[in-house]
Amino acid sequence: MNKITILLPSSLLFFLGCQSQQEADKEHTKPNIIYILADDLGYGDLGCYGQQKIETPNIDALAVSGIRFTQHYTSSPVCAPARCMLLTGLHSGHAQIRGNDEWADRGDVWDFEAMAKNASLEGQRPLKAGTQTIGTLLKQAGYKTGIVGKWGLGGPLTEGIPNNQGFDFFYGYNCQRQAHTFFPVHLWKNTEKVPLNNKMIPPHTLLPKEADPFDPESYNDFWLTDYASELMQNELIQFIKNNKNEPFFMYYANPIPHVPLQAPKRWVDYYVKKFGDEEPYTGDKGYFPHRYPLAAYAAMVSYLDEQVGEIVALLKELGLYENTIIVFSSDNGPSFNGGTDSPWFDSAHPFKSEQGWGKANLTEGGIRIPMIAQWPGKIEPGTKTDLLSAQYDVLPTLCEIVGIEPEGKIDGISFLPTLTGEGNQNAHEFIYWEFPASGGQQALRMGKWKGIRKNIFQDDLQILLYNLEEDVQEQNDVSDQYPEIVQKIDSIFLQEHTPAELDRFKIKQFGD
């Protein structure tokens, strides 16, 4: 494994060809777009964002040959709503899905045995039929559209499935709960339920009491046969190969490094060697136990990185590299459960990543995410931007790239001028969030200011104010000193919130 590090410099090379003529020819060719969304990967989890322990040479290579965003935000701090807003270009005051809703009125949706037999128990609350998504828009623009990975925006038998929401191809987890194991008993390929060669080990199974937690053999039930991540990568590769002659859009909703901690042994071994021995995780904080939880987390990130490297190599092999945009980002900040230790990795660096500050919170650690874009010949290598932007900007950006207009009002602003360094970049006056969970939260980023409400459900509507230029960890509330800023934030909160259609996402304190 050491070899990977040694090879790092040469793998990061960017070649400057005689591009003018080639470029001119490509003006007429629509670029392929691959948008990779990691799951619960923190702002500080990548080498190119300052990670010191986990190695991510391939993703770093994207950064060095492309652009890094340092002020990019998810639209929502958990899986389903983040994905909804990414795909629809609307912020959490306007979006359909504003939280993770397991849609429990269908029955016991946490019974994995039952779910395996009854697809109507799978999945999350669906996107409505006829929703405008990146998928529907790029299809209009002549793209072949695919999603591989974790969907989470509508159960298998609903109008919300990917094939009804603008995607020609789907392979992966329909359901976020199913993604609580990387060895599920089935995955979905379009509308077909594909059985896998794994025995049923329900997520959140603990290490048996009689088992020796220090014996790696005790964990055999948590590494089975068909590893979902590998299967998904294979399908993704096939999708690219199948569509190499026409423009394609691939939304790779990669389920890594979301827990459970399940990573290929070679990578775990690599990090055990690097970090040394450690305390086992026996499963008391959910998901699955692991003999080497720290090594496993790092292993998952490096495996994801390896997958990215494989995609880049494939594009080069197929001659598609020069005309493909690759975007890499994450759905929200780092996790706090399932045996992860985000503070040890400083996964949200320079922000706080402890429980209550990372995933599922509107604090910076929960919503500030890495975003890297690479587009040979269009994006200047090694660029870094502090443009204030959000995932709900991705839809208008992709629309501008392919030359179409979304219908209706979109909250996002295209950041294409920042990517290419050409044209005028329109700026957000603010980025808005509301989150009808974790005590009820609402936040606004406006210039250097961050306003946040943390306990709305307890009727606490106080707005805390932080100056992020001086206080990235949101420790020093200055709302007393800047009442006019707080006032302005309050009025924007009022203006941007619209009541959700789904009861689950309504906030009664706002009169919904």
Partner 1 sequence: MVKKKYTIIVVLILVLNFFGNAQKPSGENWLDIDNVPDEDAICFALYTVNNNILKLTAQLYPLQKDVDRIVKLQIQKEGQWKTIAATLVSEESYGWPQEDEKQWTAHFRIEEWDSSQDYRYRVLAAGEKATYEGLVRKDPVEKEEIVVAGFTGNGNYDRRLKPDIIKNIKAQDPDLLFFSGDQSYDHEQHLQAWLLFGQQFGEIIKDRPTVCLPDDHDIGQGNVWGEAGIKANSNAGNDGGYYYSAQYVNSVQNAQTWHLPDGYDPTPVERGIGVYYTSLKIGKIDFAILEDRKFKTGPKGLIPPMGPRPDHITDPEYDYMTVDLPEGIILGDRQLRFLDEWGQEWQGINMKVALSQTIFANAAHRHGKYDYTLFADMDSNGWPQSARNRALESMRKFFGFHIAGDQHLATVIHHGINQYRDAGFSFCVPSIVNYYNRWWTPLKEPDGKPVPGSLDGLGDYYDGFHNKVTMYAYANPSEKRKNKWGGEWGERAAGYGLVRLNVKTRDIKMECWPRGVDVTTADAEQYEGWPITINQMDNYGREAIAYLPEIKVSGMENPVVQVIYEPTEEIVYTVRFQGSQFQPKVFKEGTYTVKIGEQPNNLKTFYGINAQEDEKIDKVLNIDF
Give the shortest CB-44-to-partner 1 separation in angstroms. Answer: 10
Of the residues 22, 25, 29, 50, which one makes contact with partner 1 according to CB under 8 A:
50
Burial class of residue 3 in the structure, from the number of CB atoms within 10 Å of its CB (0-12 exposed, 13-18 middle, 19+ buried): exposed
Query: Is residue 129 a contact partner of residue 159, using CB atoms and an 8 Å limit?
Result: yes
Task: Name every residue whose Cβ is closer than 8 Å to that of residue 121 and which is 6 or more positions away in sequence.
Answer: 106, 107, 108, 109, 111, 114, 115, 155
23 near partner 1 (CB under 8 A): no
For 106, the token pair is 């269908």
The span from the CA of 378 to the CA of 419, in Å, is 8
DSSP state of 73: E
Burial class of residue 11 in the structure, from the number of CB atoms within 10 Å of its CB (0-12 exposed, 13-18 middle, 19+ buried): middle
64 near partner 1 (CB under 8 A): yes
Of the residues 14, 114, 266, 491, which one makes contact with partner 1 according to CB under 8 A:
14
Of 59-67, 174-182, 190-198, 299-307, the window that binds partner 1 (rule: CB under 8 A) is 59-67
221 near partner 1 (CB under 8 A): no
Give the shortest CB-164-to-partner 1 separation in angstroms. Answer: 41
The span from the CA of 506 to the CA of 365, in Å, is 25
10 near partner 1 (CB under 8 A): yes
Task: Name every residue whose Cβ is closer than 8 Å to that of residue 137 and which is 6 or more positions away in sequence.
Answer: 166, 395, 398, 399, 402, 404, 406
| Closer of 64 and 446 to partner 1 (Cβ) | 64
Of the residues 37, 63, 312, 369, which one makes contact with partner 1 according to CB under 8 A:
63
The span from the CA of 57 to the CA of 51, in Å, is 11
5 near partner 1 (CB under 8 A): yes
Give the shortest CB-350-to-partner 1 separation in angstroms. Answer: 7
65 near partner 1 (CB under 8 A): yes
The HSE-up count of residue 429 (CA atoms within 13 Å, CB side) is 6
305 near partner 1 (CB under 8 A): no
382 near partner 1 (CB under 8 A): yes
The span from the CA of 243 to the CA of 324, in Å, is 13
Of the residues 48, 224, 395, 486, which one makes contact with partner 1 according to CB under 8 A:
48
Give the shortest CB-144-to-partner 1 separation in angstroms. Answer: 31
Of the residues 286, 356, 377, 381, which one makes contact with partner 1 according to CB under 8 A:
381
319 near partner 1 (CB under 8 A): no
Task: Name every residue whose Cβ is closer than 8 Å to that of residue 484 and which is 6 or more positions away in sequence.
Answer: none
316 near partner 1 (CB under 8 A): no
Residues of this chain, 331-350, that bind partner 1 according to CB under 8 A: 350
Give the shortest CB-9-to-partner 1 separation in angstroms. Answer: 4
Of the residues 102, 111, 341, 380, which one makes contact with partner 1 according to CB under 8 A:
380
Q: Is the peptide bond before 257 cis (omega within 30 degrees of 0)?
A: yes
Query: Is residue 255 a contact partner of residue 174, using CB atoms and an 8 Å limit?
Result: no
Of 58-66, 93-101, 228-236, 272-280, the window that binds partner 1 (rule: CB under 8 A) is 58-66
The span from the CA of 322 to the CA of 399, in Å, is 20
Give the shortest CB-17-to-partner 1 separation in angstroms. Answer: 6
Instruction: Put the strands of the sheet holding 169-173 in their side by side order.
Output: 192-195, 186-189, 169-173, 144-150, 248-253, 32-38, 324-330, 371-374, 67-69, 383-385
Of 106-114, 268-276, 379-387, 434-442, the window that binds partner 1 (rule: CB under 8 A) is 379-387
383 near partner 1 (CB under 8 A): yes
**Count of positions on this chain that bind partner 1 (CB under 8 A):** 26
Q: Which residues bind partner 1 (CB under 8 A)?
A: 5-6, 8-10, 12-18, 47-48, 50, 60, 63-65, 68, 350, 380-384
